[in-house]
């Protein structure tokens, strides 16, 4: 045994050196992989009307093309994070990329609704393995505090703008190619990702080979499924619907059972030490709340641009570019310059307040508004605010975790954003629809009144998004600690 120890140490040192030398290339690989997962939440949305016409499915069925992906992705993220720790992050990344590409090819070849829903579900399954592996690799590759800020600024910008990029790319592909290319494009991302992983990443045998916590898997996955399904079901039914109530109730009960199990079991799926830290808890809350509020921008502003201003799919995507630019600027500033000096407590609540102001500004839209007069300004301000939230939250959410917890910590960050998106979509859709109904109840049902009711529903959603962000400022301000976040470099990075 003593004779093999120096050899193991030497091998580990060479692997670490390999990773260090190629770390910026690895960042590019991880950014491409993360972008594929994030943009698939919106890229298919723009293509849905065309796909619906081609495959002959109903309006009521249409939502399941989106929901199937989010259900599988959101409910399996924790398990995916645990599996990436178990089989090794390089293996998890490659398996996730190949599986995601295969599911995308299946979806592009769909001849009916069932085949497309199945493909979207499989995409979500492999996305749940892929996303935690990407963030865990990022966290363990960049162990220098200065470089970590730059890396997470880029990653946060990609994650924060992925939805808008999906709208732009989806509009372009649908307009100039085919709705099937909104799925086929993933094969390009995956091919680059797999080639990069084989070239850049060293083999790792996994960092956590403890027995799998099956009671935790069943209750955690079931609870997350119940929440995502319940919130998705609200969109087409109501908050009083029996299936909605049963699903949400079951989700809450199962998650309560999950946390009880995690407190008592020897090998928990989610070690509670991962979420017990105040800064990490604040970052998870920030992702949950920002995920909820951001749907007020993507969903209802897309409706406004297309139905009220008459924008095409591709022009709608281009309209979001100023927000992307603003988000990239503040993501770099917050993570590289500000976070190392002042910590997350001033940044993340400030970002929430800026986003709330942007939503209040956007709630002033009228039928007479134009893109320049009513949308461009608040859209840029939204990007500025979100750059202060997303990049620091990704960094702080994985900061200082032990290497064998990196996968599950990464999964929790992704889970928070995904659950937040589900909550935001359901809640804002319901409030917007209710606002339209109440408006029409007090106005004659003319064409002008119908248009006014539609605008009123959008502005109500923006106002409610502002309240979500204001709540986010209060919650994160209370949870996050003052001062610079403590950084404890993980050892070993990717070599085991």
How is residue 255 written in tokens?
A: 């998650």
CB-based contact 436:456 (threshold 8 Å): yes
Q: Determine contact, residues 383/323, Cβ cutoff 8 Å.
A: yes
Quick one: pLDDT at residue 240? 87
Q: Name, in order, each residue with C-beta under 8 angstroms of 369's C-beta and a sequence gap of 6 or more.
A: 375
CB 466 within 8 A of CB 359: yes
pLDDT at 12: 52
The model's pLDDT over 421-467, given as tens digits with 9 standing for 90+, comes to 888 888 888 888 889 889 988 888 888 889 999 999 999 999 999 99
CB 281 within 8 A of CB 479: yes
Cβ burial of 49 (10 Å; 0-12, 13-18, 19+) is middle
Residue 56 burial (CB count, 10 A): 9
Q: Could you tell me the two tokens for 361?
A: 């500004």
So what's the pLDDT on residue 346?
93
Distances (CA, A) of 398 to 101, 352, 393: 27, 20, 9
Q: Which residues of the chain have pLDDT under 70?
A: 1-16, 18-19, 59-60, 206-208, 235, 485-496
Provide the token pair at 45. Answer: 């949305």
pLDDT for 492 equals 37
DSSP code string of 290-346: HHHHHHHHHHHHHHIIIIIS---HHHHHHHTHHHHHHHHHHHHIIIIIIHHHH-HHH
Report the pLDDT value the prediction gives residue 453, as an integer from 0 to 100: 92
Q: Which residues contact 459 (CB under 8 A, 6 or more apart)?
A: 362, 363, 364, 365
Task: Quote the pLDDT of residue 190.
Answer: 95
């Amino acid at each position: 045994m003593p004779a093999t120890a120096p050899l193991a140490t030497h091998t580990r040192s060479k692997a670490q050196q390999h990773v260090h030398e190629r770390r910026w290339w690895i960042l590019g690989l991880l950014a491409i992989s993360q972008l594929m997962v994030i943009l698939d939440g919106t890229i298919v949305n723009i293509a849905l009307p065309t796909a619906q016409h081609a495959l002959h499915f109903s309006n009521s069925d249409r939502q399941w093309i989106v929901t199937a992906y989010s259900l599988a992705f959101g409910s399996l993220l924790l398990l995916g994070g645990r599996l990436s720790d178990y089989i090794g992050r390089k293996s998890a990344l490659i398996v996730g990329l190949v599986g995601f590409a295969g599911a995308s090819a299946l979806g592009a070849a769909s001849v009916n609704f069932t085949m497309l829903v199945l493909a979207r579900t499989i995409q979500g399954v492999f996305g749940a393995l892929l996303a935690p592996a990407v963030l865990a690799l990022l966290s363990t590759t960049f162990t220098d505090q200065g470089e970590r800020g730059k890396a997470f600024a880029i990653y946060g910008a990609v994650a924060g703008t992925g939805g808008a990029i999906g709208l732009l790319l989806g509009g372009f592909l649908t307009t100039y190619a085919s709705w099937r290319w909104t799925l086929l494009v993933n094969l390009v991302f995956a091919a680059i990702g797999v080639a990069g992983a084989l070239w850049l990443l060293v083999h790792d045998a996994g960092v956590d080979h403890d027995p799998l916590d099956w009671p935790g898997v069943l209750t955690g996955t079931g609870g997350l499924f119940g929440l995502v399904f319940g919130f998705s079901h609200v969109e087409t039914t109501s908050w009083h619907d029996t299936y909605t109530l049963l699903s949400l109730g079951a989700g809450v009960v199962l998650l309560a059972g999950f946390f009880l199990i995690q407190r008592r079991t020897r090998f928990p799926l989610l070690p509670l030490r991962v979420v017990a830290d105040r800064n990490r808890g604040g970052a998870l809350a920030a992702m949950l709340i920002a995920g909820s509020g951001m749907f007020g921008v993507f969903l209802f502003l897309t409706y406004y641009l297309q139905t009220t201003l008459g924008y095409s799919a591709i022009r709608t995507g281009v309209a979001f570019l100023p927000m992307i630019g603003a988000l990239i600027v503040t993501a770099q500033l917050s993570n590289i310059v500000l976070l190392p000096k002042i910590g997350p407590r001033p940044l993340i609540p400030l970002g929430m307040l800026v986003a709330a102001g942007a939503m209040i500004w956007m709630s002033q839209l009228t039928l007479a508004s134009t893109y320049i007069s009513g949308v461009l300004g608040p859209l840029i301000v939204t990007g500025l605010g979100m750059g202060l939230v997303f990049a620091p939250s990704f960094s702080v959410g994985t900061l200082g975790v032990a290497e064998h917890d990196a996968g599950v910590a990464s999964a929790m960050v992704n889970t928070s954003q995904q659950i937040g998106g589900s909550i935001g979509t359901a809640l804002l859709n319901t409030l917007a629809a209710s606002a339209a109904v109440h408006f029409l109840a007090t106005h004659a049902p003319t064409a002008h009144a119908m248009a006014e009711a539609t605008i009123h529903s959008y502005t109500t959603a923006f106002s409610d998004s502002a309240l979500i962000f204001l709540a986010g400022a209060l919650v994160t301000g209370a949870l996050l600690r003052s001062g610079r976040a403590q950084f404890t470099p993980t050892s070993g990075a990717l070599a085991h």
